[in-house]
Amino acid sequence: MEQSKKTKIGLIGAGNICRVGHGPAITADGRAYVAAISDPDPYNRELFAKKYKVRGVYEDHRAMLEREDLDAVVISSPPWVHARHVEDSAAKGLPILCEKPMATTLEDCRAIIDAGKKHNVYILMGHCKRFEPGHQRIRELLMENVLGRIFQVSIFWYFFIPNLSEGWLGSVAQKLKKHGFDVDRQFGFWRYSDVRAGGGDFFDHAPHYIDIIRFYGMEIEQVSCETKRCYPNIRPFEDIAVATFRLSNGAIFLYDKNVVRTGWPYGFERGYIYGEKGKIAFKASHAYQKRGMKVGIYRLPNIPLNLYTSALSPYGTKNTMFYRQMKFFIDKVRDEHTLKNAVSGDWGATPEDSYLTMAWTLASYKSARDGIKITRDNLFKEIETFQTCQPHNW
């Protein structure tokens, strides 16, 4: 496609998620290109601009929005500035793909919703797991009622984020930094030490599966959560979080998030759905590895051999979630329909979807802090003024 006919996308935030996710996805799609980037960090700007040959490079996103003739914007800045970046982009009439977490407060979440409505712009929230073929296949199976009544959904998602401030690992990290390789910067570990991030790894990643539960067709009715800080002197928020949700169909949803599981940093992500007619299991690789999710189903006929039957054969990097999410977004911007799927309706996450997801994330933290269960009936009453941006002794 000729460059003049391609969609011009501007990136606000040019960090790791853009280098390994959005940048490659835009390039691979072929109908768009990164026309400009903005990031206050010169390292991020220079690295991304060099890798993707971007001409428009800015420190301030407002300068980029003023000077560049853009067709759309991808916002991948830290969550505490999402509202401002969405408001400024929406005021220019630009369609927006905004990363999750949506924001760190309900006030900012509402500001994002209001900006979209005020300026009549399309906003796709970056709940990319909706675009993973494995989760779409699971949704289809559940809509077909292959498991009958659902009893439990269990998600186990672990990383290994060691203490890099002391000991031999700290010494290695310091030596690497002196030679130009900053581990914290390269892997985005800043989010575990910056109180503005809103919370620990649970805050960053729980929105994925809270959203996926709703994508599967279930709503949350109640949450009870426990958290633990393993390195209170270096991390302001939790290292372990275990949340139990009661769902609208009577099932229990267990979400176990842990960043101190010793092992490869790419971690461990597994899920199980148990019903009266069998179970579904999935295995996901780290998103940055760009491998398709494996899904298997186990019903009564599987018992003699004790083996799952494959429900999906993953294939191709371009069929993974970052690439499909970007294809969906570019389709919206260009009013095209190139992304094929078997999910009915407009299944991209809306700001309203993300708002409810953030409400349950905040409720989980309040449940952990106060030792209470929070139900749908009193959800917003409990969290309206709740702030996670100050560290707590959880």
Q: Is residue 36 part of a domain?
A: yes
Determine the pLDDT at residue 345. Answer: 64
Q: Could you give phi then psi for residue 298, rounded to 5 degrees?
A: -130, 110
Residue 78: which domain range?
Answer: 3-126
| Dihedral over Cα of 239, 79, 269, 48: its sign | negative
In this structure, are strands 123-126 and 96-99 parallel, antiparallel, or unpaired?
parallel
Give me 282's structure tokens: 């999935």
d(CA 241, CA 200) in angstroms, rounded, equals: 9
| Dihedral over Cα of 296, 215, 260, 289: its sign | positive
Determine the pLDDT at residue 158. Answer: 94
Q: Is residue 331 part of a domain?
A: no
If phi > 0 it is left, if psi is from -120 to 50 it is alpha, else beta; for residue 8 that is: beta
**Per-residue pLDDT tens digits of the chain, which is 394 residues long:** 777 799 999 999 999 899 999 999 999 999 999 999 999 999 999 999 999 999 999 999 999 999 999 999 999 999 999 999 999 999 999 999 999 999 999 999 999 999 999 999 999 999 999 999 999 999 999 999 999 999 999 999 999 888 777 788 778 878 888 887 877 776 667 778 888 988 999 999 999 999 999 999 999 999 999 999 998 888 899 999 999 999 999 999 999 999 998 887 778 999 999 999 999 999 999 888 888 999 999 999 999 999 999 999 888 999 999 999 999 999 999 999 998 876 666 789 999 999 999 999 999 999 999 999 999 999 999 998 776 655 444 3
Residues 106 and 195 placed together within one structural domain of the fold:
no
Q: Is residue 335 part of a domain?
A: no
List of residues 6+ apart from 23 with CB closer than 8 A:
11, 34, 48, 51, 52
The residue count of the chain comes to 394
Residues 102 and 20 placed together within one structural domain of the fold:
yes
**Cα dist from 91 to 62, 83, 95, 338, whole Å:** 11, 12, 10, 28
HSE-CB at 297 with a 13 A cutoff on CA atoms is 21
In this structure, are strands 123-126 and 240-247 parallel, antiparallel, or unpaired?
unpaired
HSE-CB at 296 with a 13 A cutoff on CA atoms is 12
Q: How remote is the C-alpha of 58 from its chain's centroid?
A: 25
In this structure, are strands 278-284 and 268-275 parallel, antiparallel, or unpaired?
antiparallel
Q: Is residue 388 part of a domain?
A: no
Residues 210 and 75 placed together within one structural domain of the fold:
no
* Angle (nearest 5°) at CA 343 between 27 and 250: 125
Determine the pLDDT at residue 366. Answer: 96
- The residue out of 75, 94, 126 marking a domain boundary is 126
Residues 106 and 154 placed together within one structural domain of the fold:
no
Residues 115 and 207 placed together within one structural domain of the fold:
no
- The residue out of 126, 157, 186 marking a domain boundary is 126
Residues 359 and 233 placed together within one structural domain of the fold:
yes
Q: How many domains does the chain have?
A: 2
Residues 55 and 92 placed together within one structural domain of the fold:
yes
Domain of residue 64, CATH code: 3.40.50.720
Q: Residue 262: which of 163, 181, 187 has the closest Cα? A: 163
